[in-house]
Amino acid sequence: MKKPMTKKDLDYFKNKLQKEKTLLEEELKTVGHKNPDVAGGWEASPGKIDTDSADDNEVADKIEGLEENNGILEKLDKQLLEVIAALDRMEKGSYGICAICAEPIENERLEANPSAKTCLKHMRG
Ligand SMILES: [Zn+2]
């Protein structure tokens, strides 16, 4: 059996994950807002156009803006959920273990993606 992660390793990756989480939340705020009623907790904000004075063109732009924000938000939200899941695994003591072979995940793999769930061999699985 390979040696498990040291407390120092865990602290290091926890720090990285928390920084990533803060960053993702900052980015989410630029395209959406928190809404506890939707899955993931984030909802895309419409474009910046004032609805009261909007003509048809502006309404179309607004819808386009919302769709664009939605796409960005979905990506960010997915990343955020992965980071949260990784932090959760840390709490449960299963962080850094491959979900497929149950071997420790390579440090270089976690360095590149701290929320990785699988080792290098199984990263596509
Ligand atoms: Zn594996």
The closest alpha carbon to 19, from 118, 114, 112, 100, belongs to: 114
> What is the per-residue pLDDT for 28?
95
CA 9 to ligand 1 center in whole angstroms: 19
Are residues 117 and 23 in contact, defined by beta-carbon separation less than 8 angstroms?
Answer: no
CA 97 to ligand 1 center in whole angstroms: 8
SS3 97: strand
> What is the per-residue pLDDT for 50?
52
pLDDT under 50: residue ranges of the chain: 1, 125
> What is the per-residue pLDDT for 63?
83
Domain ranges of the chain: 9-94
- Percent share of the chain, pLDDT over 70: 90
> What is the per-residue pLDDT for 53?
58
DSSP letters for 30-90: HHEEE-TTSGGGEEEPP-S--GGG--HHHHHHHHHHHHHHHHHHHHHHHHHHHHHHHHHHH
CA 14 to ligand 1 center in whole angstroms: 21
CA 65 to ligand 1 center in whole angstroms: 41
CA 54 to ligand 1 center in whole angstroms: 54
